[in-house]
């Protein structure tokens, strides 16, 4: 049996943050995940609390309204510490930026209009511009409309124009040269080979604009080269606007976090679900992972449950009830609360799972991210913030437990 100090279930933002913090604390760590989580569908912008330009004011209001909110378990100082840790961990390969004091940026939406976000990847940083923007679409690529976005932005008082380029101008792989492509990953890979051809095609069109907006397809592994190269050639700031999933910014973030974990000495087993756990008294001893062939047994001193909510597979919804998928923890909030997204596992301040009577169910299991009860990332604009902050806290608590 493989044995670790810490076994993390889930490779979303929460699980990855936990693993990075645990590795920093010197714990032998493995991340086991069925899939990639919400990162591959999210915009890539990280939301802390969207209700106000100052997310901390919005967060205080939220916690006052919802005392069972995961943010109520943390101090603002701890949340800032977790965000700073996260940014530090991924700088270089996938740099993220924030304003002083982690205030919200206002960035355009795909249909025009602005929304708030706290941490922006480099590819979306110039999106906060107030100046005139040229929105560039790709003919045949239907997941983003430059025209629709420009019209929407003009309706709310901005000065945007739209233009289109033909993906035939981009060099394909061997044998597919000249073919129109309508798939975001394929356009991204073509741009890595031939962003200079795109810059030539757009030559002269960006004059008079502060920035050019492209759908979020500007490269995958070589994104920074493509984005910075286009900026230099076009003489304007370049940013990516959200397109439909799969999300290239999210895929870049997931890949950077995975690479960082491996570089830090952590193990990552992705593509296989945890199907059960071996429990003795109030301690989890090992988890069982379904792999092709015989199931894999992974032992650990401590475990982090970061398996997502109802969309991530962590919470199972049945007709009359909801439950947690690996340990069968009770899921609270189902039916009683207005939003089904608030359904999840209730925890104490140490992030340990609680039964309906308030008793800790398992001492050495800590929960983080979407699996937690009491919040709705969509209406609150709190998704990444809760995942990162509770993931960080769960690792700290597991580290304390390991020292006892
Ligand atoms: C469409 C969409 C768009 C979003 N856009 C944004 C945005 O723009 N900004 C923002 O801040 N937030 C956004 N969010 C919310 C945010 O992405 C999530 O709240 C946050 O990423 C949740 O992270 P997590 O790690 O808790 O869960 P998830 O990302 O769901 O990860 C769960 C992980 O657990 C794994 N897992 C599940 N069950 C098992 C099992 N049995 N065994 C092993 N592994 C398992 C999954 O495969 C996955 O790896 C969006 C969410 C969605 C769905």
Longest dimension (CA), the chain: 71
pTM of this prediction exceeds 0.85: yes
Residues of the chain with pLDDT > 90, as a percent, come to 83
Give, for ligand 1, the residue of 96, 377, 379 to mutate: max count of ligand atoms closer than 8 Å to Cβ. Answer: 377
Is the CB of 188 within 6 Å of ligand 1?
no
For 2, other C-beta atoms within 10 Å of its C-beta total 14
* E-state strands within 306-402: 315-317, 322-324, 365-367
Is the CB of 347 within 6 Å of ligand 1?
no
Q: How far is Cα 102 from Cα 384, in angstroms, rounded to an integer?
A: 13
Residue 170 has pLDDT above 90, yes or no: no
Q: What is the 3-state secondary structure (H, E, C) of 2-43?
A: EEEEEEEECCCHHHHHHHHHHHHCCCCEEEEECCCHHHHCCC
DSSP 162-183: EEEEEGGGS--STT-TT-----
Spatial contact of 136 and 213, defined as CB atoms under 8 Å apart: yes
Residue 319: which pLDDT band, with cuts at 50, 70 and 90?
confident
> What's residue 321's pLDDT?
81
Atom of ligand 1 nearest to the CA of 46: 11
Record the tokens describing residue 130, joined without a space.
């107030």
Record the tokens describing residue 20, joined without a space.
């990075």
Residues of the chain with pLDDT > 70, as a percent, come to 96
Of all protein residues, the one whose alpha carbon is nearest to atom 35 of ligand 1 is: 10
Domains of the chain plus CATH, in order, are: 2-96+251-403 (3.50.50.60), 110-241 (3.40.50)
Residue with the bigger pLDDT between 292 and 393: it is 393
Q: What is the dihedral of CA 11, 15, 16, 20, to 10 degrees?
A: -140
Residue 317 has pLDDT above 90, yes or no: no
Instruction: Give 311 Cα–ligand 1 centroid separation in angstroms.
Output: 7
What does the pLDDT average to over 264-278?
97
Spatial contact of 247 and 223, defined as CB atoms under 8 Å apart: no
Record the tokens describing residue 344, joined without a space.
């999840």
Chain segment 132-142, per-residue pLDDT in tens: 999 999 998 88
Instruction: Give 10 Cα–ligand 1 centroid separation in angstroms.
Output: 9
């Amino acid at each position: 049996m493989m044995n670790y100090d810490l076994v993390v279930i889930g490779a979303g933002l929460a699980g990855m943050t936990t693993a990075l913090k645990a590795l920093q604390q010197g714990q032998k760590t493995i991340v086991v995940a069925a899939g990639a989580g919400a990162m591959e569908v999210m915009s890539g912008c990280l939301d802390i609390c969207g209700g106000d330009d100052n997310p901390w004011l919005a967060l205080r209001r939220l916690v006052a309204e919802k005392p069972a909110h995961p943010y109520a378990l943390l101090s603002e100082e701890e949340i800032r510490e977790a965000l700073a840790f996260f940014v530090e961990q991924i700088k270089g390969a996938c740099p993220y930026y924030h304003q002083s004091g982690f205030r919200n940026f206002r960035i355009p939406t795909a249909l025009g209009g602005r929304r708030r976000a706290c941490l922006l990847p480099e590819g979306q940083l110039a999106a906060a511009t107030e100046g005139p923007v040229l929105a560039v679409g790709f003919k045949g690529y239907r997941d983003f409309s430059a025209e629709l976005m420009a019209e929407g932005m003009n309706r709310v008082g901005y000065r945007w124009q739209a233009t289109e380029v033909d993906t035939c101008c981009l060099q394909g792989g061997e044998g597919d040269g000249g073919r129109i492509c309508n798939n975001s990953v394929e356009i991204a890979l073509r741009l890595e080979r031939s962003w200079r051809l795109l810059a030539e095609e757009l030559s002269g069109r960006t004059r008079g604009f502060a920035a050019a907006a492209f759908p979020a397809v500007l490269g995958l592994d070589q994104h920074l080269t493509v984005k910075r190269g286009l900026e230099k050639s076009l003489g304007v700031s370049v940013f990516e606007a959200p397109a439909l999933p799969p999300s290239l910014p999210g895929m870049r973030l997931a890949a950077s976090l995975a690479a960082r974990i491996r570089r830090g000495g952590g193990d990552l087993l992705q593509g296989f679900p945890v199907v059960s756990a071996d429990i003795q008294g109030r301690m989890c001893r090992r988890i069982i992972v379904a792999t092709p062939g015989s199931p894999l047994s992974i032992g650990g001193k401590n475990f982090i449950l970061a398996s997502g909510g109802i969309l991530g597979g962590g919470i199972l919804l049945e007709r009359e009830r909801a439950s947690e998928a690996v340990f069968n923890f009770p899921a609270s909030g189902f039916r009683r609360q207005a939003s089904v997204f608030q359904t999840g596992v209730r925890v104490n301040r140490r992030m340990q799972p609680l039964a309906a009577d308030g008793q800790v169910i398992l001492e050495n299991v800590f929960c983080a991210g979407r699996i937690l009860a009491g919040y709705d990332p969509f209406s609150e604009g709190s998704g990444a913030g809760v995942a990162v902050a509770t993931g960080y806290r769960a690792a700290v608590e597991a580290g304390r437990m390991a020292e006892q």
